[in-house]
Structure 1
Amino acid sequence: MATGRQIVMTGLLSIPLWLAAAFLLYWPSDADPKSIPHPIGWSGSKDETKDPSTSNFWKHVDLKSQEIPETVTKRSASIKVKESVLSVDNVQVFYREAQSEGESSAHISILLLHGAAFSSETWLHLGTIQILAAMGYRTVAIDVPGYGKSSLADISDHGEFLNHVIKALDLKRPVVVSPSMSGTYALPYLLKHSEEMGGYIPVAPVGTGILERQSCASSQTEEDQLASVCESLRKFLKPPLPNLSCIKTPTLVVFGEYDRGKHSALLCLLPRSQAAEIPEGRHPAYLDNPKLWHKLLYNFLGHAAQLAAKSQ
Protein backbone atom coordinates (compact mmCIF):
# COMPACT_ATOMS: atom_id res chain seq x y z
CA MET A 1 0.00 0.00 0.00
CA ALA A 2 1.33 3.43 -0.92
CA THR A 3 2.36 5.62 1.96
CA GLY A 4 1.24 9.25 2.30
CA ARG A 5 4.74 10.38 1.30
CA GLN A 6 4.62 8.28 -1.87
CA ILE A 7 1.19 9.69 -2.81
CA VAL A 8 2.44 13.25 -2.39
CA MET A 9 5.58 12.57 -4.43
CA THR A 10 3.53 10.95 -7.23
CA GLY A 11 1.23 13.98 -7.30
CA LEU A 12 4.15 16.40 -7.52
CA LEU A 13 5.80 14.44 -10.33
CA SER A 14 2.57 14.49 -12.36
CA ILE A 15 2.31 18.32 -12.35
CA PRO A 16 4.85 18.85 -15.19
CA LEU A 17 2.94 16.33 -17.30
CA TRP A 18 -0.34 18.19 -16.77
CA LEU A 19 1.32 21.51 -17.63
CA ALA A 20 2.82 20.07 -20.81
CA ALA A 21 -0.56 18.69 -21.86
CA ALA A 22 -2.26 22.03 -21.28
CA PHE A 23 0.46 23.82 -23.26
CA LEU A 24 0.00 21.54 -26.27
CA LEU A 25 -3.78 21.78 -26.05
CA TYR A 26 -3.98 25.57 -26.17
CA TRP A 27 -0.94 26.46 -28.27
CA PRO A 28 -2.17 27.56 -31.77
CA SER A 29 -1.28 25.26 -34.66
CA ASP A 30 0.21 26.59 -37.90
CA ALA A 31 -2.23 24.32 -39.73
CA ASP A 32 -5.13 26.44 -38.48
CA PRO A 33 -5.92 29.27 -40.97
CA LYS A 34 -6.67 31.49 -37.99
CA SER A 35 -3.16 31.06 -36.56
CA ILE A 36 -2.29 34.67 -37.24
CA PRO A 37 0.07 36.87 -35.25
CA HIS A 38 -1.29 37.90 -31.88
CA PRO A 39 -0.28 41.40 -30.75
CA ILE A 40 2.11 41.27 -27.83
CA GLY A 41 0.50 42.32 -24.57
CA TRP A 42 -3.01 42.15 -26.04
CA SER A 43 -4.73 41.59 -22.69
CA GLY A 44 -4.69 44.37 -20.17
CA SER A 45 -1.37 45.93 -21.13
CA LYS A 46 -0.97 49.53 -19.98
CA ASP A 47 1.87 50.02 -22.46
CA GLU A 48 0.36 51.83 -25.47
CA THR A 49 3.05 50.41 -27.74
CA LYS A 50 1.55 46.97 -27.06
CA ASP A 51 -2.14 47.88 -27.40
CA PRO A 52 -3.39 47.82 -31.03
CA SER A 53 -6.29 50.11 -30.19
CA THR A 54 -3.80 52.97 -29.80
CA SER A 55 -1.81 55.02 -32.30
CA ASN A 56 1.45 54.29 -30.49
CA PHE A 57 1.06 50.58 -31.18
CA TRP A 58 0.88 51.06 -34.94
CA LYS A 59 3.75 53.52 -34.99
CA HIS A 60 6.04 51.03 -33.27
CA VAL A 61 4.78 47.63 -34.47
CA ASP A 62 7.32 45.50 -36.34
CA LEU A 63 5.60 44.17 -39.46
CA LYS A 64 8.57 41.99 -40.38
CA SER A 65 8.67 40.12 -37.08
CA GLN A 66 7.03 36.87 -38.16
CA GLU A 67 7.60 34.69 -41.18
CA ILE A 68 4.65 33.19 -43.01
CA PRO A 69 4.26 29.61 -41.74
CA GLU A 70 5.28 26.97 -44.25
CA THR A 71 1.85 25.34 -43.87
CA VAL A 72 0.21 28.53 -45.18
CA THR A 73 2.57 28.65 -48.17
CA LYS A 74 1.85 25.00 -49.00
CA ARG A 75 -1.90 25.50 -48.60
CA SER A 76 -1.85 28.42 -51.03
CA ALA A 77 -0.87 26.07 -53.87
CA SER A 78 -4.20 24.25 -53.57
CA ILE A 79 -6.41 27.35 -53.28
CA LYS A 80 -9.02 27.57 -56.06
CA VAL A 81 -9.73 31.06 -57.41
CA LYS A 82 -13.23 31.59 -58.77
CA GLU A 83 -14.20 34.17 -61.42
CA SER A 84 -17.50 36.01 -61.70
CA VAL A 85 -19.20 39.25 -62.74
CA LEU A 86 -21.24 41.52 -60.52
CA SER A 87 -23.57 44.33 -61.64
CA VAL A 88 -23.08 47.45 -59.53
CA ASP A 89 -24.74 50.75 -60.46
CA ASN A 90 -25.24 49.40 -64.00
CA VAL A 91 -21.51 48.61 -64.27
CA GLN A 92 -20.38 45.04 -64.95
CA VAL A 93 -17.60 44.42 -62.45
CA PHE A 94 -15.40 41.38 -63.04
CA TYR A 95 -13.83 39.86 -59.94
CA ARG A 96 -11.80 36.96 -58.69
CA GLU A 97 -12.47 35.40 -55.29
CA ALA A 98 -10.79 32.82 -53.09
CA GLN A 99 -11.39 31.44 -49.64
CA SER A 100 -9.82 28.58 -47.74
CA GLU A 101 -11.99 25.48 -47.55
CA GLY A 102 -11.19 25.23 -43.87
CA GLU A 103 -12.37 27.55 -41.11
CA SER A 104 -11.66 31.17 -42.01
CA SER A 105 -11.35 34.43 -40.13
CA ALA A 106 -14.75 36.11 -39.97
CA HIS A 107 -13.33 39.32 -38.53
CA ILE A 108 -11.94 40.92 -41.71
CA SER A 109 -12.02 40.36 -45.46
CA ILE A 110 -9.62 41.58 -48.16
CA LEU A 111 -10.41 43.66 -51.25
CA LEU A 112 -7.59 43.97 -53.79
CA LEU A 113 -7.67 46.93 -56.20
CA HIS A 114 -4.99 47.63 -58.83
CA GLY A 115 -3.01 50.28 -60.67
CA ALA A 116 -3.61 51.69 -64.16
CA ALA A 117 -1.26 49.26 -65.91
CA PHE A 118 -2.68 46.22 -64.14
CA SER A 119 -5.84 44.30 -63.26
CA SER A 120 -7.02 41.61 -60.84
CA GLU A 121 -4.98 39.18 -62.92
CA THR A 122 -1.83 40.76 -61.44
CA TRP A 123 -2.74 39.49 -57.96
CA LEU A 124 -3.50 36.07 -59.39
CA HIS A 125 -0.11 35.70 -61.09
CA LEU A 126 1.71 37.16 -58.08
CA GLY A 127 -0.02 34.62 -55.84
CA THR A 128 -1.41 37.28 -53.50
CA ILE A 129 -5.02 36.12 -53.79
CA GLN A 130 -4.08 32.53 -53.04
CA ILE A 131 -1.79 33.22 -50.11
CA LEU A 132 -4.25 35.62 -48.44
CA ALA A 133 -6.96 32.98 -48.75
CA ALA A 134 -4.55 30.39 -47.32
CA MET A 135 -4.03 32.70 -44.33
CA GLY A 136 -7.76 32.33 -43.66
CA TYR A 137 -9.19 35.51 -45.17
CA ARG A 138 -11.95 35.81 -47.72
CA THR A 139 -10.15 37.57 -50.57
CA VAL A 140 -11.67 39.38 -53.55
CA ALA A 141 -9.79 41.14 -56.37
CA ILE A 142 -11.80 43.29 -58.77
CA ASP A 143 -11.10 44.85 -62.14
CA VAL A 144 -11.75 48.57 -61.69
CA PRO A 145 -14.32 49.87 -64.24
CA GLY A 146 -12.66 50.38 -67.62
CA TYR A 147 -9.83 47.95 -66.84
CA GLY A 148 -9.40 44.23 -67.33
CA LYS A 149 -12.74 42.56 -67.93
CA SER A 150 -14.95 45.21 -66.24
CA SER A 151 -17.09 47.47 -68.39
CA LEU A 152 -16.17 51.09 -69.02
CA ALA A 153 -18.28 53.59 -67.06
CA ASP A 154 -18.44 57.25 -66.17
CA ILE A 155 -18.51 57.24 -62.37
CA SER A 156 -19.04 60.57 -60.62
CA ASP A 157 -18.30 59.41 -57.06
CA HIS A 158 -15.56 56.78 -56.96
CA GLY A 159 -15.74 56.39 -53.18
CA GLU A 160 -19.46 55.62 -53.13
CA PHE A 161 -19.12 53.30 -56.09
CA LEU A 162 -16.50 51.32 -54.16
CA ASN A 163 -18.84 51.31 -51.17
CA HIS A 164 -21.59 49.81 -53.36
CA VAL A 165 -19.15 47.15 -54.64
CA ILE A 166 -18.21 46.24 -51.07
CA LYS A 167 -21.87 46.01 -50.03
CA ALA A 168 -22.78 43.93 -53.11
CA LEU A 169 -19.95 41.50 -52.36
CA ASP A 170 -20.96 41.44 -48.68
CA LEU A 171 -17.39 42.05 -47.52
CA LYS A 172 -17.21 42.33 -43.75
CA ARG A 173 -14.73 44.80 -42.22
CA PRO A 174 -12.83 45.07 -45.53
CA VAL A 175 -9.12 45.71 -45.67
CA VAL A 176 -8.64 47.60 -48.93
CA VAL A 177 -5.36 47.15 -50.81
CA SER A 178 -4.96 50.17 -53.06
CA PRO A 179 -2.00 50.71 -55.40
CA SER A 180 -1.48 53.78 -57.57
CA MET A 181 -4.56 54.73 -59.67
CA SER A 182 -6.99 52.90 -57.38
CA GLY A 183 -6.34 55.53 -54.73
CA THR A 184 -9.01 57.61 -56.49
CA TYR A 185 -11.49 54.96 -55.31
CA ALA A 186 -10.02 53.92 -51.96
CA LEU A 187 -9.19 57.33 -50.49
CA PRO A 188 -12.70 58.85 -50.82
CA TYR A 189 -14.08 55.60 -49.42
CA LEU A 190 -11.66 55.79 -46.49
CA LEU A 191 -12.71 59.32 -45.58
CA LYS A 192 -16.41 58.43 -45.56
CA HIS A 193 -16.37 54.87 -44.29
CA SER A 194 -13.23 54.47 -42.18
CA GLU A 195 -15.19 53.08 -39.22
CA GLU A 196 -16.47 50.22 -41.38
CA MET A 197 -12.99 49.18 -42.51
CA GLY A 198 -10.74 46.56 -41.00
CA GLY A 199 -7.65 48.20 -42.47
CA TYR A 200 -6.12 50.06 -45.39
CA ILE A 201 -3.00 49.15 -47.40
CA PRO A 202 -2.08 51.92 -49.85
CA VAL A 203 0.86 51.36 -52.20
CA ALA A 204 1.92 54.79 -53.48
CA PRO A 205 -1.68 55.72 -54.39
CA VAL A 206 -2.65 58.79 -56.37
CA GLY A 207 -5.44 61.09 -55.23
CA THR A 208 -3.97 61.88 -51.82
CA GLY A 209 -4.78 65.57 -52.34
CA ILE A 210 -8.12 64.72 -50.79
CA LEU A 211 -6.29 64.18 -47.49
CA GLU A 212 -4.88 67.70 -47.60
CA ARG A 213 -8.44 69.06 -47.69
CA GLN A 214 -9.52 66.92 -44.75
CA SER A 215 -10.00 68.52 -41.35
CA CYS A 216 -11.22 66.34 -38.52
CA ALA A 217 -13.49 67.96 -35.95
CA SER A 218 -11.50 66.35 -33.14
CA SER A 219 -8.57 68.31 -31.77
CA GLN A 220 -5.22 67.60 -33.38
CA THR A 221 -2.94 65.85 -30.93
CA GLU A 222 0.79 65.59 -31.34
CA GLU A 223 0.38 63.03 -34.12
CA ASP A 224 3.14 64.47 -36.29
CA GLN A 225 5.51 61.98 -34.71
CA LEU A 226 5.92 59.53 -37.55
CA ALA A 227 6.66 55.83 -37.63
CA SER A 228 10.41 55.36 -38.05
CA VAL A 229 10.16 54.26 -41.70
CA CYS A 230 8.11 57.37 -42.46
CA GLU A 231 10.94 59.64 -41.34
CA SER A 232 12.52 59.23 -44.79
CA LEU A 233 9.40 60.92 -46.18
CA ARG A 234 9.19 63.86 -43.76
CA LYS A 235 10.87 66.21 -46.25
CA PHE A 236 7.81 65.86 -48.51
CA LEU A 237 5.49 67.26 -45.83
CA LYS A 238 4.93 71.01 -45.87
CA PRO A 239 2.90 72.89 -43.24
CA PRO A 240 0.12 73.32 -42.55
CA LEU A 241 -0.42 69.60 -42.13
CA PRO A 242 -3.97 68.24 -42.43
CA ASN A 243 -5.79 67.07 -39.32
CA LEU A 244 -6.41 63.35 -39.90
CA SER A 245 -6.77 62.43 -36.22
CA CYS A 246 -10.32 61.09 -36.58
CA ILE A 247 -9.42 58.42 -39.14
CA LYS A 248 -8.63 55.46 -36.92
CA THR A 249 -8.29 52.77 -39.60
CA PRO A 250 -5.11 50.66 -39.19
CA THR A 251 -2.98 51.53 -42.21
CA LEU A 252 0.08 49.93 -43.78
CA VAL A 253 1.80 52.45 -46.07
CA VAL A 254 3.93 50.59 -48.63
CA PHE A 255 6.32 52.30 -51.03
CA GLY A 256 9.41 51.46 -53.04
CA GLU A 257 12.86 52.77 -52.25
CA TYR A 258 12.89 54.46 -55.68
CA ASP A 259 9.37 55.83 -55.30
CA ARG A 260 9.44 57.95 -52.16
CA GLY A 261 7.09 60.91 -52.38
CA LYS A 262 4.34 63.12 -51.03
CA HIS A 263 1.57 60.55 -51.51
CA SER A 264 3.08 58.12 -49.03
CA ALA A 265 4.19 60.94 -46.71
CA LEU A 266 0.62 62.20 -46.30
CA LEU A 267 -0.61 58.70 -45.53
CA CYS A 268 1.97 58.49 -42.75
CA LEU A 269 -0.02 61.21 -40.96
CA LEU A 270 -2.90 58.81 -40.37
CA PRO A 271 -2.83 58.16 -36.61
CA ARG A 272 -2.82 54.36 -36.82
CA SER A 273 -0.30 54.07 -39.62
CA GLN A 274 2.89 52.09 -40.02
CA ALA A 275 5.08 52.08 -43.12
CA ALA A 276 7.27 49.66 -45.01
CA GLU A 277 9.78 50.47 -47.72
CA ILE A 278 10.54 47.81 -50.31
CA PRO A 279 14.31 47.85 -50.96
CA GLU A 280 15.07 48.76 -54.59
CA GLY A 281 11.32 48.91 -55.16
CA ARG A 282 9.73 50.90 -57.95
CA HIS A 283 6.22 52.34 -58.14
CA PRO A 284 4.56 48.86 -58.12
CA ALA A 285 6.88 47.84 -55.28
CA TYR A 286 5.02 44.57 -54.57
CA LEU A 287 6.31 43.23 -57.91
CA ASP A 288 9.94 43.77 -56.90
CA ASN A 289 9.83 41.64 -53.75
CA PRO A 290 6.70 39.45 -53.54
CA LYS A 291 8.10 37.49 -50.59
CA LEU A 292 8.52 40.63 -48.46
CA TRP A 293 5.17 41.98 -49.69
CA HIS A 294 3.34 38.87 -48.52
CA LYS A 295 5.23 38.83 -45.24
CA LEU A 296 4.14 42.42 -44.55
CA LEU A 297 0.53 41.48 -45.32
CA TYR A 298 0.73 38.48 -43.00
CA ASN A 299 1.95 40.50 -40.02
CA PHE A 300 -0.27 43.55 -40.61
CA LEU A 301 -3.45 41.54 -41.18
CA GLY A 302 -2.85 39.47 -38.08
CA HIS A 303 -2.93 42.57 -35.90
CA ALA A 304 -5.81 44.13 -37.88
CA ALA A 305 -7.89 40.98 -37.44
CA GLN A 306 -7.26 40.95 -33.69
CA LEU A 307 -8.32 44.58 -33.40
CA ALA A 308 -11.46 43.94 -35.49
CA ALA A 309 -12.32 40.97 -33.27
CA LYS A 310 -11.96 43.12 -30.16
CA SER A 311 -14.23 45.85 -31.58
CA GLN A 312 -17.04 43.48 -32.52
Structure 2
Amino acid sequence: MRYPTAVFLHGAKYTSDFWLKLGTLQKVAESGVRAMAIDLPGFGATPALPYSDNNMRSELLKTVIEAAWPRVNSTVILVSPSMSGRYSLPFLDRHGVMITSFVAVAPIGIKDWGGPWEDTHKRVCALGVYGKNDALAGDAERLVRLFQFAWKVVIPGAGHRSYEDKPDVFHKVLLTFMRKCKRLPNGYHEVLPEQGIELVRTLRQVERAPAH
Protein backbone atom coordinates (compact mmCIF):
# COMPACT_ATOMS: atom_id res chain seq x y z
CA MET A 1 0.00 0.00 0.00
CA ARG A 2 1.19 3.49 -0.83
CA TYR A 3 0.77 6.33 1.61
CA PRO A 4 0.82 10.09 1.20
CA THR A 5 3.92 11.77 2.57
CA ALA A 6 4.31 15.00 4.53
CA VAL A 7 7.68 16.71 4.03
CA PHE A 8 8.66 19.05 6.87
CA LEU A 9 11.07 21.95 6.45
CA HIS A 10 12.23 24.06 9.40
CA GLY A 11 12.94 27.59 10.55
CA ALA A 12 16.28 29.34 11.05
CA LYS A 13 16.64 28.35 14.72
CA TYR A 14 15.90 24.69 14.19
CA THR A 15 16.83 21.49 12.37
CA SER A 16 14.76 18.53 11.22
CA ASP A 17 15.19 17.00 14.68
CA PHE A 18 12.83 19.60 16.12
CA TRP A 19 9.78 17.94 14.53
CA LEU A 20 10.77 14.65 16.13
CA LYS A 21 11.12 16.20 19.57
CA LEU A 22 7.81 18.05 19.21
CA GLY A 23 6.09 14.75 18.47
CA THR A 24 4.82 15.95 15.09
CA LEU A 25 6.35 13.17 13.02
CA GLN A 26 4.87 10.50 15.27
CA LYS A 27 1.39 12.06 15.22
CA VAL A 28 1.45 12.40 11.45
CA ALA A 29 2.61 8.80 11.03
CA GLU A 30 -0.11 7.56 13.37
CA SER A 31 -2.68 9.33 11.16
CA GLY A 32 -1.64 7.21 8.18
CA VAL A 33 0.67 9.73 6.48
CA ARG A 34 4.37 9.03 6.02
CA ALA A 35 6.35 11.80 7.70
CA MET A 36 9.83 12.99 6.78
CA ALA A 37 11.80 16.04 7.84
CA ILE A 38 14.94 17.34 6.16
CA ASP A 39 17.82 19.54 7.25
CA LEU A 40 18.06 22.51 4.92
CA PRO A 41 21.55 23.46 3.66
CA GLY A 42 23.77 24.72 6.45
CA PHE A 43 21.65 23.14 9.18
CA GLY A 44 22.00 19.86 11.01
CA ALA A 45 23.57 17.15 8.86
CA THR A 46 23.25 19.04 5.56
CA PRO A 47 26.31 21.04 4.44
CA ALA A 48 25.88 24.57 3.17
CA LEU A 49 25.50 25.15 -0.56
CA PRO A 50 28.43 26.78 -2.41
CA TYR A 51 25.99 29.50 -3.35
CA SER A 52 22.25 29.95 -2.93
CA ASP A 53 19.60 31.51 -5.14
CA ASN A 54 15.95 30.80 -5.92
CA ASN A 55 16.79 28.29 -8.65
CA MET A 56 19.20 26.38 -6.44
CA ARG A 57 16.75 26.28 -3.52
CA SER A 58 13.83 25.18 -5.69
CA GLU A 59 15.89 22.43 -7.33
CA LEU A 60 16.92 21.14 -3.92
CA LEU A 61 13.28 20.68 -2.89
CA LYS A 62 12.48 19.18 -6.28
CA THR A 63 15.12 16.52 -5.62
CA VAL A 64 13.60 15.77 -2.21
CA ILE A 65 10.10 15.41 -3.64
CA GLU A 66 11.33 13.26 -6.51
CA ALA A 67 12.95 10.90 -4.02
CA ALA A 68 9.62 10.42 -2.24
CA TRP A 69 7.40 10.43 -5.34
CA PRO A 70 7.62 6.75 -6.43
CA ARG A 71 6.61 5.59 -2.95
CA VAL A 72 3.74 7.94 -2.22
CA ASN A 73 1.58 7.88 -5.36
CA SER A 74 2.26 11.57 -5.96
CA THR A 75 0.38 12.69 -2.84
CA VAL A 76 2.82 15.02 -1.08
CA ILE A 77 2.16 17.61 1.62
CA LEU A 78 4.85 20.29 2.05
CA VAL A 79 5.04 21.97 5.48
CA SER A 80 7.04 25.19 5.43
CA PRO A 81 7.61 27.37 8.51
CA SER A 82 9.34 30.73 8.76
CA MET A 83 12.75 30.92 7.05
CA SER A 84 12.00 27.89 4.88
CA GLY A 85 9.78 30.13 2.77
CA ARG A 86 13.01 31.01 0.95
CA TYR A 87 12.89 27.43 -0.35
CA SER A 88 9.19 26.59 -0.58
CA LEU A 89 8.01 29.68 -2.49
CA PRO A 90 10.59 29.38 -5.31
CA PHE A 91 9.78 25.65 -5.43
CA LEU A 92 6.07 26.38 -5.78
CA ASP A 93 6.82 28.83 -8.58
CA ARG A 94 8.82 26.32 -10.57
CA HIS A 95 7.65 22.84 -9.54
CA GLY A 96 4.55 23.36 -7.40
CA VAL A 97 2.40 20.87 -9.30
CA MET A 98 4.54 18.07 -7.84
CA ILE A 99 2.81 18.46 -4.47
CA THR A 100 -0.81 18.12 -3.43
CA SER A 101 -0.97 20.40 -0.39
CA PHE A 102 1.05 23.31 1.00
CA VAL A 103 1.02 24.16 4.70
CA ALA A 104 2.41 27.67 5.11
CA VAL A 105 3.35 28.13 8.77
CA ALA A 106 4.12 31.86 8.68
CA PRO A 107 6.81 31.47 5.99
CA ILE A 108 8.76 34.55 5.05
CA GLY A 109 8.14 36.05 1.63
CA ILE A 110 4.33 35.82 1.34
CA LYS A 111 3.89 39.61 1.54
CA ASP A 112 5.89 40.21 -1.63
CA TRP A 113 4.99 37.00 -3.45
CA GLY A 114 2.92 37.22 -6.61
CA GLY A 115 1.66 33.68 -6.17
CA PRO A 116 2.64 30.39 -7.81
CA TRP A 117 3.24 30.25 -11.54
CA GLU A 118 1.29 28.31 -14.18
CA ASP A 119 -1.74 26.49 -12.73
CA THR A 120 -0.24 25.54 -9.37
CA HIS A 121 -2.79 27.80 -7.68
CA LYS A 122 -5.53 25.47 -9.00
CA ARG A 123 -3.75 22.18 -8.40
CA VAL A 124 -2.46 22.65 -4.86
CA CYS A 125 -4.51 23.04 -1.67
CA ALA A 126 -3.06 25.58 0.76
CA LEU A 127 -3.38 26.22 4.47
CA GLY A 128 -1.95 29.27 6.20
CA VAL A 129 -1.15 28.82 9.91
CA TYR A 130 -0.25 31.95 11.88
CA GLY A 131 -0.05 33.03 15.48
CA LYS A 132 -2.24 35.92 16.56
CA ASN A 133 0.81 37.69 18.02
CA ASP A 134 2.97 37.21 14.93
CA ALA A 135 3.88 40.34 12.99
CA LEU A 136 3.31 38.27 9.82
CA ALA A 137 -0.27 37.30 10.73
CA GLY A 138 -1.58 39.72 8.11
CA ASP A 139 -0.06 37.49 5.41
CA ALA A 140 -2.77 34.90 6.06
CA GLU A 141 -5.34 36.85 4.05
CA ARG A 142 -2.95 37.30 1.14
CA LEU A 143 -2.13 33.60 1.07
CA VAL A 144 -5.74 32.50 0.70
CA ARG A 145 -6.17 34.87 -2.23
CA LEU A 146 -3.25 33.29 -4.08
CA PHE A 147 -4.75 29.77 -4.27
CA GLN A 148 -8.11 28.60 -5.55
CA PHE A 149 -8.51 26.15 -2.65
CA ALA A 150 -7.07 27.71 0.49
CA TRP A 151 -7.86 28.13 4.17
CA LYS A 152 -6.27 30.02 7.04
CA VAL A 153 -6.16 29.89 10.80
CA VAL A 154 -4.82 32.49 13.23
CA ILE A 155 -4.06 30.82 16.57
CA PRO A 156 -4.81 32.92 19.71
CA GLY A 157 -2.00 33.22 22.23
CA ALA A 158 0.67 32.13 19.72
CA GLY A 159 3.50 34.06 18.14
CA HIS A 160 5.64 33.47 15.06
CA ARG A 161 6.41 29.89 16.09
CA SER A 162 2.80 28.86 16.63
CA TYR A 163 3.72 25.18 16.41
CA GLU A 164 5.97 25.58 19.44
CA ASP A 165 3.71 27.96 21.38
CA LYS A 166 0.56 25.86 20.85
CA PRO A 167 1.69 22.39 19.69
CA ASP A 168 -1.59 20.64 20.49
CA VAL A 169 -3.57 23.19 18.49
CA PHE A 170 -1.08 23.09 15.63
CA HIS A 171 -1.23 19.30 15.44
CA LYS A 172 -5.03 19.31 15.45
CA VAL A 173 -5.18 21.77 12.57
CA LEU A 174 -2.46 20.01 10.60
CA LEU A 175 -3.95 16.53 10.91
CA THR A 176 -7.40 17.78 9.92
CA PHE A 177 -6.07 19.59 6.85
CA MET A 178 -4.06 16.61 5.64
CA ARG A 179 -7.32 14.70 5.13
CA LYS A 180 -8.78 17.46 2.97
CA CYS A 181 -7.08 17.01 -0.41
CA LYS A 182 -6.12 13.97 -2.47
CA ARG A 183 -4.08 13.74 -5.65
CA LEU A 184 -5.93 12.35 -8.68
CA PRO A 185 -4.38 10.35 -11.56
CA ASN A 186 -4.73 13.33 -13.92
CA GLY A 187 -2.44 15.42 -11.71
CA TYR A 188 -5.19 17.56 -10.24
CA HIS A 189 -6.59 17.11 -6.78
CA GLU A 190 -9.91 16.20 -5.27
CA VAL A 191 -11.12 18.43 -2.48
CA LEU A 192 -12.94 15.97 -0.26
CA PRO A 193 -16.24 17.55 0.80
CA GLU A 194 -16.79 15.26 3.76
CA GLN A 195 -13.56 16.60 5.25
CA GLY A 196 -14.32 20.21 4.36
CA ILE A 197 -16.92 20.71 7.08
CA GLU A 198 -14.58 19.18 9.65
CA LEU A 199 -11.71 21.42 8.54
CA VAL A 200 -13.70 24.65 8.66
CA ARG A 201 -15.20 23.70 12.02
CA THR A 202 -11.74 22.95 13.43
CA LEU A 203 -10.26 26.21 12.17
CA ARG A 204 -13.10 28.29 13.60
CA GLN A 205 -12.95 26.50 16.95
CA VAL A 206 -9.25 27.26 17.17
CA GLU A 207 -9.70 30.96 16.42
CA ARG A 208 -12.48 31.30 19.01
CA ALA A 209 -10.50 29.56 21.74
CA PRO A 210 -9.10 31.60 24.66
CA ALA A 211 -5.54 32.84 24.18
CA HIS A 212 -4.23 31.32 27.43
TM range (shorter): 0.7 to 0.9
| Post-superposition CA distance 1:61-82 (Å, at most 9, x none) | xxxxxxxxxxxxxxxxxxxxxx
1:185 to 57, 69, 87: 87
2:64 matched residue in structure 1: 165
- Does the Cα contact within 8 Å between 1:205 and 1:264 map onto a contact in 2? no
Greater radius of gyration (CA): 1
2:207 matched residue in structure 1: none
Shift of 1:211: 2.3
- Structure 1 consecutive aligned stretches of length 4 or more whose deviation exceeds 6 Å: 215-218
Return the alpha-carbon distance in structure 1 between the equivalents of residues 116 and 39 of structure 2.
32
In the TM superposition, 1:97-246 aligns within 5 A as: 106=3, 108-153=4-49, 154-156=51-53, 157=55, 158-170=57-69, 172-208=74-110, 211-212=113-114, 214=115, 246=121
Shift of 1:285: 0.4
Quickly say closer, same or farther: Cα 1:198–1:246, change in 2 above 3 A: closer
Shift of 1:180: 0.5
1:281 aligns with 2:158: yes
1:97 matched residue in structure 2: none
Return the alpha-carbon distance in structure 2 between the equivalents of residues 208 and 160 of structure 1.
20
Matched residues, percent identical? 31
Return the alpha-carbon distance in structure 2 between the equivalents of residues 215 and 116 of structure 1.
23
| Post-superposition CA distance 1:19-75 (Å, at most 9, x none) | xxxxxxxxxxxxxxxxxxxxxxxxxxxxxxxxxxxxxxxxxxxxxxxxxxxxxxxxx
Shift of 1:186: 0.7
Shift of 1:112: 0.2
- Does the Cα contact within 8 Å between 2:93 and 2:117 map onto a contact in 1? no
2:142 to 251, 263, 266: 266
Give, as a single letter, the amino acid of the residue that structure 1 aligns with 2:152. Answer: A
Quickly say closer, same or farther: Cα 1:209–1:260, change in 2 above 3 A: closer
Return the alpha-carbon distance in structure 2 between the equivalents of residues 182 and 188 of structure 1.
10
- 2:123 match: secondary structure: coil
TM-score when scaled to structure 2? 0.75
- 2:41 match: secondary structure: coil
Return the alpha-carbon distance in structure 2 between the equivalents of residues 161 and 217 of structure 1.
20
Return the alpha-carbon distance in structure 2 between the equivalents of residues 138 and 185 of structure 1.
21
Q: Which runs of 5+ in 2 are unaligned?
A: 188-212
- Does the Cα contact within 8 Å between 1:255 and 1:278 map onto a contact in 2? yes
| Post-superposition CA distance 1:224-268 (Å, at most 9, x none) | xxxxxxxxxxxxxxxxxxxxx844311110000101534333212
- 1:155 match: secondary structure: coil
Quickly say closer, same or farther: Cα 1:311–1:303, change in 2 above 3 A: farther
Return the alpha-carbon distance in structure 2 between the equivalents of residues 116 and 286 of structure 1.
14
Quickly say closer, same or farther: Cα 1:127–1:160, change in 2 above 3 A: same
Q: Which has the higher contact order (CA 8 A, sep 6+)?
A: 1
Shift of 1:169: 3.7
Return the alpha-carbon distance in structure 1 between the equivalents of residues 128 and 28 of structure 2.
18
- Does the Cα contact within 8 Å between 1:250 and 1:272 map onto a contact in 2? yes
- Does the Cα contact within 8 Å between 1:205 and 1:263 map onto a contact in 2? no
Return the alpha-carbon distance in structure 2 between the equivalents of residues 217 and 309 of structure 1.
18
RMSD: 2.4
Return the alpha-carbon distance in structure 1 between the equivalents of residues 31 and 37 of structure 2.
16
- Does the Cα contact within 8 Å between 1:206 and 1:263 map onto a contact in 2? no
2:183 matched residue in structure 1: 308
Give, as a single letter, the amino acid of the residue that structure 2 aligns with 1:112. Answer: F
